[in-house]
Amino acid sequence: MTAVGAAAGPGPRPAPVAAAAPASAPTAREAAVEPFWAEEFSGRSGRRPDARVWTSEVGNRRQQGWWNNELQYYTRVDVRARLPTGRGLLPAIWMLGDNGRTWPRQGEIDVVEVVGGEPRTAYGTAHGPGYANEDGLGGTVGLGGRASARFHLYSVVKEPRRITWLVDDEPYFTLTPQDLPAGRAWVFEQDMHLLLNVAVGGDWPGRPGRATRFPATMAVDHVRMYGTGVVDGVRVTSPR
């Protein structure tokens, strides 16, 4: 297990706009029996993530841009995590496209965000040209308690021209090109990379309050990727 600490700078957007009914896509890991890549974070508590795999940064993602060295064109990504809650906090597990375009043409898939004022709600959102920031397309699901109270499994199933969001293996939102605003491009058929961060402040979560507890950490039990991706420059596929 590892923990991701709070990072300064403005958080992401106001609430996304719903665009599709709950999903009927696969809930099981149908593409493969085992992940093609996994990080189990099995070291001692408090140990920093493996620098050969993860890049740790503190700063403003809008000014600097955040990247890592792994590319994924996977069928499914799972992250089991306990997310911090509190006014002014915005933990996020998300993916950015590697098409070389500027955001939002770059494409972004938010696997999960939990905004400080709504500690019991998970947001899953997609951002692209003409549907970004407050116009992002996504859905929400109740967690049955504060996101900081226990671990949940946050997942995205990424199929050709279809994205499905899940919490604890239950799908709650699906997006297809037919759900986009008229004339807008679907930008998700590409390699993407995964990011995990905790933002502090910004328009959506607001300023931290006196009751907000620091340090605010995202505890991550594991990250697993199924399907196909690029690891150390080599394209690999999950064993079946």
Buried b (16+ CB within 10 A) or exposed e, 77-103: bbbbbbbbbbbbbbbbbbbbbbeeeeb
Task: Tell me the whole-structure pTM to 2 decimals.
Answer: 0.81
Higher pLDDT, 60 or 175: 175
**70 pLDDT exceeds 50?**
no
Q: What CATH number does the domain containing 165 carry? A: 2.60.120.200
Q: Is 57 left (phi over 0), alpha (psi -120 to 50) or beta?
A: beta
Q: For residue 30, what pLDDT band results from cuts at 50, 70 and 90?
A: low
Domain span at residue 140 reads 1-46+68-76+125-232
What are 137-148's pLDDT values in tens digits? 999 999 999 999
Q: For residue 117, what pLDDT band results from cuts at 50, 70 and 90?
A: confident
Average pLDDT, stretch 59-85? 67
Residue 41 · residue 160 · CB < 8 Å: no
Q: Residue 115 falls within a domain, yes or no?
A: no
**166 pLDDT exceeds 90?**
yes
Q: Residue 52 falls within a domain, yes or no?
A: no
Pairwise CA distance, residues 226 & 157, whole Å = 9
Residues recognised as catalytic: 108, 113
236 C-beta neighbours (distance < 10 Å), count: 14
**Number of domains forming the structure of the chain:** 1
Q: Residue 37 falls within a domain, yes or no?
A: yes
